[in-house]
Copies of this chain bind each other. A is one copy, B any other.
Amino acid sequence: MNKPKQVTIVEVAAAAGVSIATVSNVLNRGGIRSSKETIRKVELAAEQLGYRRNTMAAGLSRSKTYEIGLILPGLTNYYGQLAEHLQIEAHNAGYHLSVFSSGGFDPDIERRNLEVLLQRRVDGLICHGLAMGFESTRSIVNSGTPLVLINGWNWPEDIALGAVNLGFAEACKQSTKLLVERDCRALCYVGSKGSKVIDEQRRMGFNAGIQQYASDVIHEIVDTTKDLDIEAFLTSLLQRHVAPVGIVAFDDHVALRILSAANKLRIEIPNQLQIIGINNDYIAKNSYPGISSWDIPYSYQAQTAINKLLHKFGNKAESGEEREIEVPLTFIERESTKLLKTE
């Protein structure tokens, strides 16, 4: 009763009164054309018998799977969205995408996922920098499987050339500029070191912004990873500096926590405190007040990644294409920052 011995092309061939080669031909529209009559017969037989092509056999035979593997650090929020868009783009390109999560940064799970995908002989791999250790990546590259890194900043060239990265640094840099323009007298970056490179990028951008646009403004950096007491922090922040104080939050989640604490403390937003988040989550739009945030061009990033992979499939010469690509974010202003009158 289990697995009713799936029907194969042999049976379809028999039913249609043709050879298996013919069945194979008509069923995947290969270069070879068949007579209308034959096509009809085969398709009919296949339909009636409920034929379903066995991917393993096909893949084995032509050593090409039309499968792309995706390894992400998780599947929530940004990652989940990205996965959805990548799936769509992969599909448009005639491939399908198998999504795997490394459940945080667990190196064991990471290796296992990778092994599974490689043993499957996927045509290509898309991995999020955060989900991969250097060793794993080297092993992919050595295996000869084309790889596109997402958000893998500054990876050693010998193990991975180029990546599709979000412009977090630039966004944070611009955030400082925006906050200063909105009269902030002190600036603070509230990060999340647990997110490693991601946090690093934001921090870098923040510092760069300070240097370029606010060298005379007081600034500081704190981290939420070790259960920062946000209320105490905000209180102190406002005591120590002249309002309004501007905060660049690690993401909209962190921004929400800050916002909530501020609401609780009756801190006025944006008069006393201004906040900019990143991701432009559901949260940013639906909190009160709304949180100004940087929107991520999921679709564009996904497209870019898939295209880059496709490009590698064609194994063209290693042109300049192999460099890192930066995908810019878009600022969406809401009530958590003081809207400029001009414009």
Contact = CB atoms under 8 A, between A and B. Distances in A.
A120 B52 CA distance: 10
Nearest to A264: B288
Contacts of A100: 87, 96-99
Contact of A79 (B6, B80, B260): B80
A84 B109 CA distance: 12
A275 to B, nearest CB: 14
Contacts of A342: none
Contacts of A84: 74-76, 101, 103
A79 to B, nearest CB: 7
Q: How many copies does the complex hold?
A: 2
A225 interface: no
Interface stretch (A139-147, A177-185, A190-198, A303-311): A139-147
A320 interface: no
A112 interface: yes
Contacts of A264: 288-289
Contacts of A17: none
Given A100-B87, A144-B3, A120 B287 contact: no
A79 B2 CA distance: 29
A232 to B, nearest CB: 15
A340 interface: no
A99 to B, nearest CB: 4
A222 interface: no
A339 interface: no
A111 interface: no
Contacts of A287: 256, 260, 287
B52 A56 contact: no
Contacts of A87: 100-101, 103
15 contacts: A3-B144, A6-B143, A52-B143, A54-B60, A74-B80, A76-B76, A76-B77, A76-B81, A76-B84, A77-B80, A84-B101, A96-B100, A98-B98, A259-B288, A260-B287
